[in-house]
Structure 1
């Protein structure tokens, strides 16, 4: 299988040589310098596109939905608050929304901290991601928001605080605007969508995106992609690499790849930047200052690529645009503040939820 890697959400500076001839994935320089004291894991067992059989820290449940005439299953975790939390049971529910290249299980440390602080925690895998169905839909943030409301209805949750990471931040903004009565507070952790990618990235057909995703099968390319998200790689982040690579080994990978291409179109064609001033709820922005992630960055010209994903600037602009928003800037942190600066992130979020 090809080792060529063209990513739909890329970060860092272009280093084609790191991935072989013709590669265009952006890889940060620090990723290549991480000392390797142990051999990198090698995965040989395929994984189904719904992560069948992959262990979960909490029981996985499913909600059956009908989207555009197709019956689908939405996976989710419903984590009860710790009964002996020092803060007591808050009576509040926190909804965690994952990014495009992640699943709900990637929220595990944050979910554990929130539950320990007395919050009920609901963690869905959106349709098209993680353990949920991978239908060939016309994806939209409105659709995913409606699905999420249906999940809250199923769980009898009237109102939730929302934390969105990466593309989950775009969904969080849309959820808060479409369903303000269901949204308490909103936390955006290095959200993409703080710029309109259509201005600097060319539009592409779904067929082109699908073909490029089908080529994303090289383990080292996938590992380099996730390394580029962070300032310092830790073996704990390897879970994302394992899931992404093992899915490529399975017979249903083309269906996964098509869902990925279609959700790329959603993020590209449905910007939320202009909607930020319309938010009318408490908002916390947590921005890792070393992040350079952007939808479709590898498809942009070198000149435009250099302009994309400037999170120090984007975070400040977003904070100025959102009425009353609070901005926390984390130095020497990349795209995963909830993992790279876990204790600080959890402290800021818990304080925000208490205020």
Structure 2
């Protein structure tokens, strides 16, 4: 009888934890921190805080910005999740607009990126990164959120919305990676060692060329240069070896963790924003020509994905590429805020 009672209690506790969604636990510090925090000495537009927690039997740091509303608070929190070649700082214009509309804004750097830890041994998964992020929010005492994710951050936001559906008020996906299943479409698998070697070969010129072609539809404005500088700062920073390893692991994670079949299960009210000139397709550069030609048609697959999400609004920028929040910040934030205010 005692065993049965104890077992029932444990099952009840486990059920409650499952219902709420388990997440990381840790503590938040406001510093001071080293100038070269986890291999990045790039100056962020707002003070950087650190969430320290244990994951996969190691202590990790997750850097983030916590920006207060700059007008009358509306009681809501917006969380911004960056893409692979981005950091929390690249959301600066969006942060300004959201804080100016009364939102508290949280913009983290995910583990493996920018000012966060570069773990020596880590199994990267979308679920793990969502677990880390939800733990940060719990530690800050933040419940429900408006979640805005771009590129790989959009893919992560989709997984977050599936993993913690009761904590998402509204979901904004900005040119998310994962609108198609790359492997299903024929992208051949390459080893993580190959991915790491490709990351090690990155240079300022190579990153700029890729971003100009893919992110900005062949255009370039001098204002974009700061974000290439920010990224190069980490590639050639004090944690270079570990950073390029983590980035190689992340490419593998994206390729092998499709989300497109799960969009139908997203219950959050969703805004999908795409630049019709976006051509991002993971693995296209190492795929056979006939496979690569069938990838990255975002203007076509974006509307198709939105049709599968139960409550989805689609907004398309006809002339923009992969990063509308950078290439047309005023237009982008107007679209987001108009939708959020509906």
SS state at 2:106 partner: strand
Q: Distance between the aligned counterparts of 2:239 and 2:308, measured in 1?
A: 43
Alpha-carbon shift at residue 73 of structure 1 (Å): 0.2
Would the aligned equivalents of 1:48 and 1:247 in 2 still touch at CA under 8 Å? no
2:27 corresponding residue in structure 1: none
2:230 corresponding residue in structure 1: 243
1:220 corresponding residue in structure 2: 205
1:285 corresponding residue in structure 2: 272
2:154 corresponding residue in structure 1: 169
Q: Distance between the aligned counterparts of 1:80 and 1:246, measured in 2?
A: 28
Q: 1:301 to 1:48 in 2, by over 3 A?
A: farther
SS state at 1:210 partner: helix
SS state at 1:197 partner: coil
Q: Give the unaligned 5+ runs of structure 2.
A: 1-34
1:103 corresponding residue in structure 2: 87
- Of structures 1 and 2, the one with the larger relative CO (CA 8 A, separation 6+) is 1
Alpha-carbon shift at residue 49 of structure 1 (Å): 7.7
1:186 corresponding residue in structure 2: 171
Structure having the larger proportion of residues in helix = 2
Please list the CA deviations of residues 251-296 of structure 1 after superposition, one character each: whole Å capped at 9, or x if unmatched.
5312111000111111111110000000111100111000100112
**1:353 matched to 2:340:** yes
Matched residues, number: 304
- 2:286 pairs with one of 283, 288, 299: 299
Q: Extract structure 1 runs of 4+ deviating beyond 6 A.
A: none
**1:209 matched to 2:195:** yes
**1:131 matched to 2:119:** no
SS state at 2:135 partner: helix
Q: Distance between the aligned counterparts of 1:307 and 1:230, measured in 2?
A: 21
Normalising by structure 1, we get a TM-score of 0.83
Would the aligned equivalents of 2:114 and 2:234 in 1 still touch at CA under 8 Å? no
1:57 corresponding residue in structure 2: 45
Would the aligned equivalents of 2:154 and 2:176 in 1 still touch at CA under 8 Å? yes
SS state at 1:198 partner: coil
**1:230 matched to 2:216:** yes
2:31 corresponding residue in structure 1: none
Q: Give the unaligned 5+ runs of structure 1.
A: 1-46
Q: Distance between the aligned counterparts of 1:235 and 1:49, measured in 2?
A: 27
Alpha-carbon shift at residue 167 of structure 1 (Å): 0.5
Alpha-carbon shift at residue 48 of structure 1 (Å): 5.5
Q: What RMSD, in angstroms, separates the aligned Cα atoms of the two structures?
A: 1.5
